[in-house]
């Protein structure tokens, strides 16, 4: 039988096997690329909306806080999209004739909610909650980017599993003081731009993240200023040390941080963040 196939066909068979293998890989790579492409993840796309609502205008321009509209972001898994009433608070008086706002007025008059197209939408089998992220020092911008500079909303990140895990494996690189969560312009500390943090008595029963107080101005310098303001006319002569430097929230208890690495590890410890291993286990997000 062996004679029917000569040596050259043997080589041919091998070559075609290799070729088939390569094609399988190529298709795999293509599908994988497609799976990650913005076309599938919708990253960066600005979907059609009933009203071209601009975060840039309302946040940067008018100075509105995120919570003014996304009222449940700190206490629920959903940040929430504001009802028409929120828009009407202002637009009953401002831009009342603008064509752009016609859908808002119709919605208000007919009591029919505006139907916004979702920009971020995880599959149902993934559990996500804003509450824990926001209360553990993750800024809106860490996940949504510079919303205050977006004339139209788009997704800054893919929201794919890899993206979640990239942070869960090393949260320290993204943690900031909880007081800075809404600050769109927050930047990581450097030696020119340090951050000072103090920890309140942990036995006092305050929830972990709230017991950490961080400031971006040197608390020692602030202390000196307050002390000199309280000095009576006539100078410091004859006053006890206590009056010259009244007991402020003691500046010595503040620790100075000049890099994200230092600050991040301090916050991981005091916000009681679980280990990367715990945070990467499947049950965290797939319950």
Taking the C-alpha atoms of residue 207 and residue 96, their distance in angstroms, rounded to an integer, is 45
Residue closer to ligand HEC, measured from CB, 69 or 263: 69
Residue 140 lies near ligand HEC (rule: CB under 6 A):
yes
Q: Which stretch binds ligand HEC (CB under 6 A): 165-173, 190-198, 225-233, 241-249?
A: 165-173
- Give the separation between CA 227 and CA 248, rounded to whole angstroms: 9
Which tokens go with 57?
């205008």
d(CA 168, CA 120) in angstroms, rounded, equals 19
- Tell me the per-residue interface mask from 58 to 97 with ligand HEC, x by CB under 6 A, - otherwise: xx-xx-x-x-xxx--x----xxxxx---xx-xxx--xx--
d(CA 143, CA 158): 10
Closest separation between CB of residue 263 and ligand HEC, Å?
Answer: 14
Is residue 57 part of the contact set for ligand HEC (CB under 6 A)? Answer: yes
d(CA 102, CA 242) in angstroms, rounded, equals 65
C-alpha–C-alpha distance, residues 271 and 211, integer Å: 9
Q: Is 286 in the site for ligand HEC (CB under 6 A)?
A: yes
Q: Binding segment for ligand HEC among 13-21, 128-136, 195-203, 211-219 (CB under 6 A)?
A: 128-136
Please say which residue, 18 or 132, places its beta carbon nearer to ligand HEC: 132
Smallest separation (angstroms) from ligand HEC to the CB of 210 = 14
| 50: Cβ contacts below 8 Å, ≥ 6 apart | 103, 114, 115, 116
Question: Quick check: 120 binds ligand HEC (CB under 6 A)?
Answer: yes
């Amino acid at each position: 039988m062996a004679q029917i196939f000569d040596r050259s066909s043997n080589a041919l068979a091998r070559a075609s096997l290799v070729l088939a293998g390569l094609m399988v890989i190529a298709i795999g790579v293509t599908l994988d690329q497609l799976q990650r492409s913005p076309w599938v993840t919708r990253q960066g796309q600005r979907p059609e909306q009933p009203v071209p609502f601009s975060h840039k205008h309302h946040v940067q321009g008018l100075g509105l806080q995120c919570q003014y509209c996304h009222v449940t972001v700190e206490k629920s898994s959903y940040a929430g999209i504001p009802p028409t009433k929120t828009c009407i608070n202002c637009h009953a008086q401002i831009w009342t004739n603008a064509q752009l706002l016609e859908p808002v007025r119709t919605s208000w008059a007919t009591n029919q909610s505006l139907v916004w197209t979702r920009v971020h939408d995880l599959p149902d089998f993934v559990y996500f909650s804003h509450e824990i992220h926001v209360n553990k020092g993750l800024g809106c911008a860490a996940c949504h980017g510079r919303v205050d500079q977006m004339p139209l909303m788009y997704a800054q990140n893919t929201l794919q599993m890899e993206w979640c895990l990239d942070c869960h494996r090393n949260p320290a690189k993204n943690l900031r003081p909880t007081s800075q969560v809404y600050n769109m312009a927050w930047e990581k500390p450097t030696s020119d731009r340090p951050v000072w943090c103090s920890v309140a008595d942990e036995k006092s029963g305050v929830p972990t993240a709230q017991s950490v107080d961080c400031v971006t101005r040197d608390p020692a310098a602030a202390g000196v200023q307050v002390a000199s303001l309280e000095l009576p006319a006539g100078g410091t002569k004859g006053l006890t040390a206590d009056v010259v430097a009244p007991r402020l929230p003691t500046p010595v208890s503040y620790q100075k941080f000049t890099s994200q690495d230092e600050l991040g590890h301090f916050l991981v410890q005091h916000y009681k963040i679980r280990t990367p291993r715990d945070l990467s286990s499947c049950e965290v997000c797939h319950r």
